[in-house]
Structure 1
Amino acid sequence: MLTGRLSALMFMQFFVWGAWTVTLGLVMQTVGIGALIGNAFSVGPIASIAGSFLLGMAAARYFSPKTLMVVLHLVGGAILFVLPSLITPERGATFVWLLFAYMMLYMPTVGLANTIALKSFGERVDRFPFVRAFGTLGWIAAGLIIGWAGLSASPQIFTVAAVVSVALGLYSLTLPSVEADAPRDESIIRQVLCTEAFGLMRQRSFLIFIVCATLISIPLAMYYAYASPYVGAAGISNVGGTLAIGQMSELAFMFSMPLLYRRFGVKPLLLVGMAAWALRYALFAIGDGGSGLWAIYVGVALHGICYDFFFVAGAIYVGTIATPKGVNAQAQGMLTLFTYGVGMLVGSQIGALLYAQMPEAATIADWQAMWWYPAIAAALIAILFQLTFRDDSRTETQP
């Protein structure tokens, strides 16, 4: 019963996000505000830093996770209902700012949902991967519904997200009541700044990992921002459903990560993940709406390797290094800060500069030329990682 309730929580949590973020770039290009795509996809990284580390950590000291989930999703749902009316050339800037306000509310709920699930399970944390998988299913379902309903290029993607956000806010009233985090001895400023976790970077291997993780997140941002208008330009009508193939691939690889990590260690997995990003972008650079259509589908399907082999394996590696020192939560937060925060923020802005160089009526050839930049960047980062990283986690974590 508990597993079912928490699975529903994860399903709706990621349905809300997946309903709009997958095809937002296509929507903005369709309505004539494509120049603001980079800014729109920059608000998420900024919110992942400010919202998760400030609002999430500070508020969690004074309010229960359940209460925060109710308030944040209800207020966020109200904002989502307003956003479709602002996706116009005249109100584009206002749209970006209100989207930023929404993401400041949404990003903390990702960690809160994890907290509720983990604390509810107690010692049975082995059930968490099964429950978290329903988050990926929610993302997939959102993409399929948006695609099948013909809304991939419509501002009404936010209306679909709004309905589920309000439903999740009301559903959160029924979630298990878990206690707020007990105040730690260190100040909240030290917690927010992850001071103990930053000390881990005195280890050369961990420092190289963080640097490469940040760098690979720069080309990663271009996929989230520009994959949907690219797929649309290739003549694929069901953009949401097509991009959902990537999440299906992610789900297939997710449960294999702990086994593969024990079998091969961290370096081969991280290297394969980086190489997969380079291959994906190279496939996008040769894919078109004709004989090269297969390259687009294969590139999207590589998402499971791209994401799981790097980000999931990377999270396991961070836990291996940080847990013996008692700073796992801070270290995971720091990884999020550098990847989804710094890396994707820089990537979104670089992507905006590249997009600005394309003609207003961009052809598939223009898109192909743009994808070579992240393909080459990802390949160079993979080579840098191969030459400099040494997995000495087993010796570094000895007591």
Structure 2
Amino acid sequence: MNLKIRLILLSFLQYAVWGAYLTSMGRYLGNLGLGTHIGWFYSMQGVVSIFMPAIMGIIADRWIASQKVLGLCHLFAGIFMIATAYYGYLAGTDTQFGIIFTLYSLSVAFFMPTIALSNSVAYFCLTDAGLDTVKDFPPIRVFGTIGFICSMWFVDIMKFQIDQNQFVTSGILSIILFLYTFTLPNCTTVKDGKQKTLAEVFGLKAFALFKQRKMAIFFIFSMMLGVSLQITNGFANPFIFSFGADPQYASTFGVQHANILISLSQISETCCILLIPFFMKRYGIKNVMLIAMFAWVLRFGLFGLGNPGSGVWMFVLSMLVYGVAFDFFNISGSLFVDKSTEPDIRSSAQGLFMLMTNGVGATIGTLAAQAIINTYTHAEVVDGNILTVGDWPTCWFIFAGYALLVGITFALVFNPKEKAI
């Protein structure tokens, strides 16, 4: 089989595993009566991202081939995810938070390193085949987002959004990917004695960048904007589903197929990647980051104003805005780090950027969002389903206000002397 097709299948499966539950898990947890704990489940992704990818990266660099580490991680992630589903199935509404959270956390601890590992495998295979990673990898990675979307749609159409079968789907896909890694080319480990030190692997050298005012401000605001990253992944689905408590919205497409509606966000994300080079060259990092920040304001504000009936266009617009909010922040930020650091510290700086955004920022954001939602909403049983109902608009407006405050402050404080990228 052609190498690019093999790597496309790898990317497709890698993100299909994640798409099976990432946007619908909140609804399932709410249906178990754990709606007040959703934030803990999403924050765990950020917590394990602080150390697990680095640990697995060390193993892949020094002792075990990357594709084998990738496969083993998916095997354990799949087993623990299926165990999470089985416990949820047996316990039902008597599910204990401590037990299901522990099983889920073990699964996520093994899954999160696979994102970087799958990239490493693809880079190695392309380079080994004499291909250009800059040119050939992006079209392969796009199929990861397609896999994510297909998985979301499958869970929606099969009516798995409200039960443990979304976890079963993810677990089965993980085990399939574990088996698939046996067919991939061998990625040799480093044998020349030039392995990275622990400080380099964990990105500790990059903390020296905080001595530079420009970079310190950038990383701090990256963390502050990272607060917004996982909020809609965790709470958009239960929010839209909550309209099921109102008879005029209960049968609308949005309530019945929230995952398909939310998948417009991922479709938008795929398209907006293509806009970044133009915007970066024309407007520079500060303005592109500001566009992202104010896009988050729109993302949250439109959720607060819309509904699945006559106001569904606001939901759709919010989904389309997500591509700008997510890509213009993550990709342009990564490019800025790449252009603003020396080669010997560049990889560590990228790790620090991910730590500040998807680690610290996203963890704080999901837990803070959970506290706000717990304050303004409550659980209510409707037609056998446990819905999280209440003053959702106030929650979304608080999130929008936060993003607006961050954006205004960033505009006043961050003034880099930048050149075109």
- The alignment's TM-score, normalised by the length of structure 1, stands at 0.94
Deviation at 1:259, TM superposition (A): 3.4
Is 1:132 aligned to 2:141, yes or no? yes
| Paired residues of 2:225 and 2:293 also in contact (CA < 8 A) | yes
For structure 1, list consecutive stretches of 5 or more residues without a partner in the other structure: none
For residues 319 and 226 of structure 1, what CA distance do their matches in structure 2 show? 33
Runs of 4+ in 1 over 6 A off after TM superposition: none
Secondary structure at 1:20 match in 2 = coil
Change in Cα spacing, 1:111 to 1:296, as seen in structure 2 (3 Å) is same
Deviation at 1:365, TM superposition (A): 5.4
Deviation at 1:293, TM superposition (A): 2.2
1:292-307 matches, within 5 Å, as: 292-307=311-326
Q: Determine which of 307, 311, 324 is the counterpart of 1:288.
A: 307
Q: Which residue of 2 aligns with 1:187?
A: 197
Of 55-64 and 14-23, deviating more is 55-64
1:56-135 matches, within 5 Å, as: 56-87=57-88, 88=92, 89-122=94-127, 124-125=132-133, 126-135=135-144
Is 1:222 aligned to 2:231, yes or no? yes
1:302-313 matches, within 5 Å, as: 302-313=321-332
Deviation at 1:185, TM superposition (A): 6.1
Q: Deviations over 1:50-108 (max 9, x none)?
A: 21122333453211101101211122211121111333433332111111111111111
Letter in 1 for 2:225: I
For residues 262 and 228 of structure 1, what CA distance do their matches in structure 2 show? 36
Is 1:258 aligned to 2:271, yes or no? no
Deviation at 1:5, TM superposition (A): 0.8
Of 282-291 and 7-16, deviating more is 282-291
Q: Determine which of 349, 357, 368 is the counterpart of 2:367.
A: 349
Letter in 2 for 1:369: T
1:199-210 matches, within 5 Å, as: 199-210=208-219
Deviation at 1:295, TM superposition (A): 1.3
Letter in 2 for 1:121: L
Deviation at 1:191, TM superposition (A): 2.0
Q: Which residue of 1 aligns with 2:12?
A: 11
Q: Which residue of 2 aligns with 1:390?
A: 415
For residues 228 and 39 of structure 1, what CA distance do their matches in structure 2 show? 16
For residues 33 and 185 of structure 1, what CA distance do their matches in structure 2 show? 45
Letter in 1 for 2:42: F
| Paired residues of 1:50 and 1:104 also in contact (CA < 8 A) | no
Q: Which residue of 2 aligns with 1:55?
A: 56
Q: Determine which of 176, 180, 197 is the counterpart of 2:185.
A: 176
Is 1:366 aligned to 2:413, yes or no? no
| Paired residues of 1:288 and 1:364 also in contact (CA < 8 A) | no
Change in Cα spacing, 1:259 to 1:368, as seen in structure 2 (3 Å) is same
For residues 187 and 252 of structure 1, what CA distance do their matches in structure 2 show? 38
Deviation at 1:146, TM superposition (A): 1.2
Is 1:275 aligned to 2:294, yes or no? yes
RMSD: 1.9
| Paired residues of 1:42 and 1:349 also in contact (CA < 8 A) | yes
| Paired residues of 1:287 and 1:295 also in contact (CA < 8 A) | yes
| Paired residues of 1:65 and 1:179 also in contact (CA < 8 A) | yes
For residues 182 and 278 of structure 2, what CA distance do their matches in structure 1 show? 37
For residues 222 and 393 of structure 2, what CA distance do their matches in structure 1 show? 25
Secondary structure at 1:60 match in 2 = helix
Deviation at 1:328, TM superposition (A): 2.1
Deviation at 1:216, TM superposition (A): 1.0
For residues 370 and 292 of structure 2, what CA distance do their matches in structure 1 show? 25
Change in Cα spacing, 1:4 to 1:119, as seen in structure 2 (3 Å) is same
Deviation at 1:197, TM superposition (A): 1.4
For structure 2, list consecutive stretches of 5 or more residues without a partner in the other structure: 245-254, 381-386
Deviation at 1:386, TM superposition (A): 0.8
Deviation at 1:247, TM superposition (A): 0.3
Q: Deviations over 1:177-214 (max 9, x none)?
A: 122246546631x1244232122222222211111110
Change in Cα spacing, 1:359 to 1:40, as seen in structure 2 (3 Å) is same
Deviation at 1:355, TM superposition (A): 2.2
For residues 388 and 59 of structure 2, what CA distance do their matches in structure 1 show? 47
